[in-house]
Amino acid sequence: MQKVLSIEEHKQVQLDILKFVAGFCEKKGLCYFLADGTLLGAVRHKGFIPWDDDIDIRMPRPDYNRMRQIFNEECKDSHYHLVDPRDNDAHHYFIKIIDTRTIKIEPEQDYSTGFLGVDIDVFPIEGSPENEEEFLKWGREIRSLNKAYAYKKRPLYISVKATIGTYVKKRVHPKWCWLFLSASRIAEKVIALADRYIYGEGTYVSFIGAGDLFRVPYECYKDYVMMKFEDAEFRVPAGYDAALTKQYGDYMKLPPIEKQVTHHANNVFWKDEEEENKHA
Give the pLDDT mean for 190-219: 96
pTM of this prediction exceeds 0.75: yes
Q: Which is higher by pLDDT, 174 or 56?
A: 56
Report the pLDDT averaged over residues 260-275.
79
Question: What average pLDDT does the chain have?
Answer: 90
Confidence of residue 178 (pLDDT cuts 50, 70, 90): low
Question: Tell me, which fold does domain 3-126+222-274 have in CATH?
Answer: Beta Polymerase; domain 2 (3.30.460)
pLDDT at site 67: 98
Give the sign of the dihedral formed by CA 65, CA 12, CA 208, CA 190. Answer: positive
In the chain, the amino acid numbered 155 is P
pLDDT surpasses 60 at 275: no
151 pLDDT band, cuts 50/70/90, is confident
**pLDDT tens per residue across span 100-128:** 999 999 887 888 888 999 999 999 999 99
Structural domain spans, the chain: 3-126+222-274
Q: How would residue 166 be classed by pLDDT, with cut points 50, 70 and 90?
A: very low
> Which residue would you say has higher pLDDT here, 137 or 276?
137
What pLDDT shows up at residue 165?
52
User: Amino acid identity, residue 126?
Assistant: E
Q: How far apart are CA 272 and CA 275, in angstroms?
A: 5
Contacts of 124 (CB under 8 A, 6+ apart): 58, 59, 60, 61, 64, 65, 94, 194
Confidence of residue 181 (pLDDT cuts 50, 70, 90): confident
